[in-house]
């Protein structure tokens, strides 16, 4: 079985849309033989990329067309706010978090078998269904153009399907429903589940939030509602209508040591291999990793993690979840050295903080935003157009911190608080050193003149996509 890693992005560079005001996303074309310049790239490890890729490519050759509406912002918002009324919220955030024990079993070290026996009942499978429309154009020569449902090879048509007129030229809208799979961890007995955001939200193909999410617990399947999700920290909380579940025990990730034994449980390459157990060690701590222009501080491990393991637990020797598996390093092009055993997990302490915010506010509290969309001005572009190297402002959101401070479209940001920034990634990193409500100083160029402004950062109060 070959491993598919279609969710990788080249590390650094290129176009960038700020998380505060992303431009409309277009589905990206997947190319299996794409060669990327960098030696290695980070890849998210949800098997959703497999299902999406296969459906997108196979869908292009499908003969059957169905009519459906485009995914709208209203539909996406409805999905985000999916009635958790179907799955009643009976427990407060404080009560749930109080169940996330962080004591180390009185110091008792468990065998691998004991670790698995303890945590396996708390690991679930997640299946996410997305909606996608694509238009297939066709040209059958000089046939008289169509009313619809028959005589396609002649370019005619029958009645009612409405593919349009056009002397043999035409198009058809085809509805696809790509399926992605991942892993989740039960953290409360009444059905709250944590997973990765990219398990339920597709950025690679521009499909956005899943239209339907199912959670497989033992032999039972539940429809899940979305309590909250955040692409920046790659975490999501789901809710199912279930009681008496076995909640995982969460440990203190700050107490991890290099070389410490860890175990992972997940669903690599889909639900056919559900509850696969792998083992390794802690290879690194506090690794500052950038994935798809998002910077995170992660635990590094050599525990085998593959597509579909996303959202699953990384477990310490006490049988406690000390991380949520999310990504791995992979080779990024043909003819390059293979990369194995460099995998990453989100620390459990970070997970607990984010879960509390999701449960209380529905979003991650205190996240700062400028309110701009931007792109890099590289040295080549700067030399070509006589511009300074920095971050070019494409758009300023109305009513945002940036607009209130006087930042304008076409300004080129060159420094934050006196620290030079050459890329949107560096700008984001400097911004993320602060919290909402903090004041920062931006240095920028406008019409050849260097200027500075002071800006009070806004708070991100919607899911970051």
CA distance 388 to 378: 9
| Residue-level pLDDT at 333 | 57
- In the predicted structure, residue 92 carries a pLDDT above the cut 50: yes
Instruction: Judge contact between 203 and 465, C-beta under 8 A.
Output: yes
Among residues 410, 406, 417, 418, the alpha carbon closest in space to that of 391 is found at 410
CA distance 183 to 325: 9
Q: What is the DSSP letter of 170?
A: E
- Residue 170: pLDDT band by 50, 70, 90 thresholds? low
- In the predicted structure, residue 154 carries a pLDDT above the cut 80: no
Given 122, 190, 198, 230, the catalytic residue: 198
Given 230, 234, 293, 411, the catalytic residue: 234
Tell which wins on pLDDT, 98 or 31.
Answer: 98
- In the predicted structure, residue 140 carries a pLDDT above the cut 80: no
Per-residue tokens: 320 = 């406690």
Tell which wins on pLDDT, 61 or 407.
Answer: 407
Distances (CA, A) of 188 to 61, 156, 250, 354: 44, 59, 11, 15
| Residue-level pLDDT at 171 | 62
> What ranges do the domains of the chain cover?
8-130+178-360, 132-175, 368-459
Say whether 70 is catalytic. Answer: no
Among residues 310, 319, 308, the alpha carbon closest in space to that of 344 is found at 310
CA distance 188 to 369: 32
Rg for the chain (alpha carbons), in Å?
24
Beta-strand ranges (E) seen in 196-275 are 201-202, 208-209, 212-217, 220-223, 225-230, 235-239, 261-266
Tell which wins on pLDDT, 263 or 155.
Answer: 263
- In the predicted structure, residue 315 carries a pLDDT above the cut 50: yes
- In the predicted structure, residue 255 carries a pLDDT above the cut 50: yes
Say whether 198 is catalytic. Answer: yes
| Residue-level pLDDT at 276 | 95
SS3 353: helix
| Residue-level pLDDT at 204 | 81
Residue 3 has a CB neighbour count (10 Å cut-off) of 13
pLDDT digits (tens, 9 = 90+) for 264-280: 999 998 898 999 999 99
Instruction: Judge contact between 158 and 148, C-beta under 8 A.
Output: yes
SS3 391: strand
**Does domain 8-130+178-360 correspond to CATH entry 3.30.565.10?**
no
Distances (CA, A) of 167 to 17, 292, 423, 451: 41, 45, 50, 59
pTM over 0.85: no
Tell which wins on pLDDT, 353 or 461.
Answer: 353
- In the predicted structure, residue 2 carries a pLDDT above the cut 50: no
Reported CATH class of domain 368-459: mainly beta
- Residue 210: pLDDT band by 50, 70, 90 thresholds? very high
| Rounded (5°) CA angle 304-310-312 | 80
Say whether 169 is catalytic. Answer: no
| Residue-level pLDDT at 450 | 95
Q: What are the φ/ψ torsions at residue 343 (nearest 5 degrees)?
A: -125, 160
Given 211, 310, 326, 331, the catalytic residue: 310
- In the predicted structure, residue 13 carries a pLDDT above the cut 50: no
- In the predicted structure, residue 43 carries a pLDDT above the cut 80: no
| Residue-level pLDDT at 198 | 94
- In the predicted structure, residue 109 carries a pLDDT above the cut 80: yes
Among residues 114, 353, 118, 106, the alpha carbon closest in space to that of 249 is found at 118
| Residue-level pLDDT at 332 | 58
Distances (CA, A) of 40 to 5, 203, 237, 331: 12, 20, 30, 5
Per-residue tokens: 137 = 């154009």
| Rounded (5°) CA angle 361-367-368 | 140
- Residue 457: pLDDT band by 50, 70, 90 thresholds? very high
């Amino acid at each position: 079985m070959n491993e598919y890693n279609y969710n990788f992005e080249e590390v650094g560079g290129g176009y960038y849309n700020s998380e505060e005001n992303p431009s409309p996303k277009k589905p990206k074309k997947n190319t299996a033989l794409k060669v990327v310049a960098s030696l290695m790239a980070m890849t998210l490890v949800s098997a959703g990329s497999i299902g999406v890729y296969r459906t997108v490519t196979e869908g292009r050759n499908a003969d059957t067309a169905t009519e459906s509406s485009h995914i709208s912002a209203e539909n996406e918002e409805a999905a985000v706010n999916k009635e958790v009324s179907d799955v009643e919220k009976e427990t407060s955030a404080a009560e749930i978090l109080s169940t996330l024990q962080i004591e180390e079993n009185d110091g008792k070290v468990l065998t691998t078998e004991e670790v698995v026996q303890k945590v396996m009942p708390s690991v679930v499978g997640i299946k996410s269904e997305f909606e996608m429309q694509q238009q297939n154009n066709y040209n059958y020569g000089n046939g008289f153009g169509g009313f619809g449902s028959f005589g396609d090879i002649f370019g005619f048509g029958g009645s009612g399907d409405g593919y349009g007129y056009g002397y043999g030229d035409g198009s058809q809208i085809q509805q696809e429903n790509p399926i992605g799979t991942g892993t989740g961890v039960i953290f409360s007995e009444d059905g709250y589940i944590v997973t990765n955001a990219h398990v339920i939200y597709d950025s690679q193909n521009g499909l956005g939030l899943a239209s339907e999410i199912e959670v497989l617990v033992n032999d039972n399947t539940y429809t899940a509602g979305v309590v909250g999700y955040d692409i920046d920290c790659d975490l999501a909380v789901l809710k199912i209508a279930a009681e008496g579940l076995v909640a995982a025990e969460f440990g203190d990730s700050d107490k991890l040591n290099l070389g410490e034994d860890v175990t992972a449980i997940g669903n690599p390459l889909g639900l056919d291999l559900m509850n696969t157990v792998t083992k390794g060690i802690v290879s690194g701590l506090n690794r500052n990793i950038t994935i798809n222009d998002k910077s995170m501080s992660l635990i590094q491990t050599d525990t085998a993690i593959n597509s579909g393991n996303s959202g699953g637990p990384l477990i310490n020797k006490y049988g406690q979840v000390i991380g949520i598996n999310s990504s791995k390093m992979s080779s990024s092009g043909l003819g390059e050295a293979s990369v194995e055993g460099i995998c990453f997990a989100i620390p459990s302490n970070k997970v607990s903080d984010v879960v509390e915010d999701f449960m209380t506010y529905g979003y991650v509290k205190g996240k700062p935003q400028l309110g701009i969309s931007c792109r890099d001005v590289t040295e080549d572009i700067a030399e070509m157009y006589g511009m300074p190297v920095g971050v070019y402002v494409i758009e300023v959101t109305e009513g945002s911190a940036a607009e209130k401070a006087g930042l304008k479209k076409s300004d080129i940001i060159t420094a934050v608080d006196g620290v030079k920034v050459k890329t949107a990634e560096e700008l984001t990193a400097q911004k993320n050193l602060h919290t909402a409500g903090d004041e920062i100083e931006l240095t920028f160029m406008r019409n050849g003149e260097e200027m500075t402004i002071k800006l009070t950062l806004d708070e991100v109060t919607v899911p970051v996509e």
